[in-house]
Amino acid sequence: MSLIEQIRKNNNGIVVAGNHPAILQSILDFDFLSGETEPSVKVCLIANRSTLKLFFGTKEVLIPCVKDMAAALIVAPEAQWLLNLQSGRRVFETTNLFFQLFPKALGAHVFAENVPEKHATDLIALWGDKKIIAGPSGVGILVSGVLKLGASGGVGLAQIAQGKLTQKGSLAVVSTSGGMTNELIVATAHSGKGTSFSLSIGGDRFPITSLSRVLELAQEDSQTKAVVYFGELGGVDEYEIADLVRTKKLTKPVLAYVAGTIDEAFEERMQFGHAKALVARNDESARAKRDALHAVGVIAPETFPEFLEAMKSLPGEVLEDVSASITPLMNRAKSILSTREIVDLESTPEYVSGKKLAKSQSYAFARATLSALLGRDVSDVTAAFTESILTQLIDHGGHVSGAVNTMVTARAGKDLVSSLVAGLLTVGPRFGGAINESARTWLRGVAAGKDAKTFVEEETRAGRLILGIGHRKYRVGVPDPRVEELSRFASLLKKHPHYDFARAVEKIMTGKQGTLILNVDGAIASLTLDILTECEGLTHRELTSLIDAEFFNALFVIPRSIGFIAHFMEQKQNDEGLFRLPDELLFVHSDKKQKKRK
């Protein structure tokens, strides 16, 4: 089995040294559009962070980052490739260490140009015959539909689609020039044949994997039907091609274009772009090399348009006119804060089945909590209800103010306690602190003996909000699952006047607007009042004392502190650096009069 065929069957995990977001995102886009279920980029060597945020399809993923190659081996022991995006002076050490630690790896791409020649020749001596290494310089390696190592084929979604990178073509693309490699990949797509694989040898003077070795790969690959090559004046690469064709080591058709005949118009030899693109002798001129290719039967047109036209006549099946849709990926926008769902917001544990407690458990944490807050032991119903509250209020997503404050503080490098306090300081009547005042409202309403309609009218005339009523997401017909589950506890009580009153108020309010339903704060407050009254024998005076001491808000603060801590730990592990709002989200008000005064 040839190496290219082996790559097509392998799990081609990539270790990345350094960071180039556009290139890395293009690799993940290629993976996704090729039908992979997870990114090929497994780990990045970036010393100052723990994760790198990218997209896999429309979902954000966090690629783990480590400080050294030994740590990368632990994260991705089966990795087959190195994408080295580091500066030229660091290329040798990192690449050499990668192959030492990953002896079964197949190859690498060295992105940097101007790698010290000593380092390049050392890599050739150590690994040139053992591994496939594209570069230094260039755009890397592409095996269509399987592997994208570097910027090969481009870095934009449109380039991936235009070049048909996810479809398995029949033409091998080879060039020292990275830019022309990508141009040829697009050209093969336009010809209808597509690219089987591509390798950009690199424009530095000493490429690690030789042109001859790449052409051997093309000869061995059963899917490759012909070779498309772009060369330029300077160097002797084209003579290698001619020699391989003449000795029949390369028997597949070769289409080549050698750029640079303009050099003949100058009295002195000119440097063209890459380090190798300099004619030192007459036989390194574009025309001399083109003639040498002609002599052995290589198709070597005089002009580039002729070269593109000749591509259509090369052997190979025409690709189906099908490409992966990139439309769903075009409008992606990175989240401001990366956070997971700490708990399933739509799932609630069942504590009541029919009119009985579903489980005979000790509810040890809830009992210990209530014992500390109330100074007494409690009944099973009170303990189970409190357990349900503590479980359901741990988190309500990373977008709420307390979680945001916690995460922003964590990303500023602050410690656990500082970040937790920053989140807790947002608790108040608009966030989390409504349970206490809702309890005061229900207690006052029931004690006054007024009907719900009269109560609502009086509250409205007084300009008071009825805390515990209203929700942004849920409405009539789309109930809050937390409220539905908590409401089952009413069936365990002989009487539940505060809960009944809250529901009666809800009925009046939803008659005005469908979102003015009894929310989780109102449900907790009303049911807690009823449970403490019936099951614990608390009086109106004792309940008032608990409200004044903010007992009801403690039922929010205790579990949500766990959620805030979870978000803190998540941010520390993600390690995305200092948080800053994107400029486009800021509203800047400018006062023209003030500008005139200035």
User: Percentage of the chain with pLDDT > 70?
Assistant: 93
Distance CA 494, CA 344 (A): 32
**Annotated active-site residue in 109, 119, 274, 496:** 274
- The one-character DSSP state at 223 is T
3-state secondary structure 156-170: CHHHHHHCCCCCCCC
Top mean pLDDT of 339-348, 356-365, 466-475 is at 466-475
- Tokens representing residue 161 in the block: 């689609």
Please confirm, yes or no, whether 589 is among the known catalytic residues: no
Query: How much is the pLDDT for 261?
Result: 63
- The one-character DSSP state at 278 is B
Query: How much is the pLDDT for 10?
Result: 85
Query: How much is the pLDDT for 593?
Result: 47
- Tokens representing residue 160 in the block: 């991936």
CA dihedral angle for residue 64, residue 70, residue 76, residue 79, rounded to 10 degrees: 120
Query: How much is the pLDDT for 429?
Result: 83
Give tens-digit pLDDT for 366-393: 999 999 999 999 999 999 999 999 999 9
- In this prediction, residue 320 has a pLDDT band, given cuts at 50, 70 and 90, of confident
> Contact, 544 vs 517, CB < 8 A?
no
Closest CA to 16 of 7, 28, 8: 28
Give tens-digit pLDDT for 113-126: 999 999 999 999 99
- In this prediction, residue 271 has a pLDDT band, given cuts at 50, 70 and 90, of very low
Query: How much is the pLDDT for 337?
Result: 83
Report the pLDDT averaged over residues 442-451: 95
Query: How much is the pLDDT for 268?
Result: 57
Query: How much is the pLDDT for 234?
Result: 77
- Mind giving me the DSSP string for 391-424? HHTS---TTSHHHHHHHHHHHTT--HHHHHHHHH
Report the pLDDT averaged over residues 502-525: 95
> Contact, 289 vs 239, CB < 8 A?
yes
Query: How much is the pLDDT for 126?
Result: 97
Query: How much is the pLDDT for 362?
Result: 81
- Tokens representing residue 441 in the block: 């409202």
- In this prediction, residue 260 has a pLDDT band, given cuts at 50, 70 and 90, of confident
What angle do helix axes 211-220 and 237-246 make, rounded to 10 degrees? 40
Q: What is the maximum span of the chain, computed from C-alpha positions, in angstroms?
A: 107
- Tokens representing residue 220 in the block: 């061995």
Q: Which residues contact 495 (CB under 8 A, 6 or more apart)?
A: 530, 534
Mean pLDDT taken over the chain: 91
Which residue would you say has higher pLDDT here, 335 or 597?
335
End-to-end CA distance of the chain: give it in Å, rounded.
76
Report the pLDDT averaged over residues 544-563: 96
Report the pLDDT averaged over residues 220-231: 97
Per-residue b or e along 433-464, where b marks 16 or more CB atoms closer than 10 Å to that residue's CB: bbbbbbbbbbbebbeeeeebeebbeebeeeee
Report the pLDDT averaged over residues 73-80: 97
Q: 453-459: long-range contacts (C-beta < 8 A, 24 or more apart)?
A: 453/508, 455/505, 456/505, 456/508, 456/509
Query: How much is the pLDDT for 263?
Result: 58
578 burial level (CB within 10 Å; 0-12, 13-18, 19+):
exposed
User: Percentage of the chain with pLDDT > 90?
Assistant: 77
| Sheet with 226-232, side-by-side order of all strands | 147-149, 141-143, 195-200, 171-175, 226-232, 254-259
Distance CA 326, CA 493 (A): 57
Tell me the domains of the chain and their CATH numbers: 3-325 (3.40.50.261), 352-574 (no CATH)
Report the pLDDT averaged over residues 43-65: 93
> Does the pLDDT value for residue 281 go beyond 80?
no
> Does the pLDDT value for residue 307 go beyond 60?
yes
39 burial level (CB within 10 Å; 0-12, 13-18, 19+):
buried
- In this prediction, residue 598 has a pLDDT band, given cuts at 50, 70 and 90, of very low
Query: How much is the pLDDT for 591?
Result: 55
Distance CA 522, CA 375 (A): 25
419 burial level (CB within 10 Å; 0-12, 13-18, 19+):
buried
> Does the pLDDT value for residue 172 go beyond 60?
yes
Beta bridge partners of 63: 52
> Does the pLDDT value for residue 205 go beyond 90?
no
Report the pLDDT averaged over residues 166-187: 95
Report the pLDDT averaged over residues 198-223: 95
Query: How much is the pLDDT for 275?
Result: 45
Q: pTM score, two decimals?
A: 0.77
- Tokens representing residue 381 in the block: 């119903």
Query: How much is the pLDDT for 199?
Result: 97
How far is residue 502 CA from its own chain's centroid? 44
Report the pLDDT averaged over residues 568-574: 92
> Does the pLDDT value for residue 258 go beyond 60?
yes
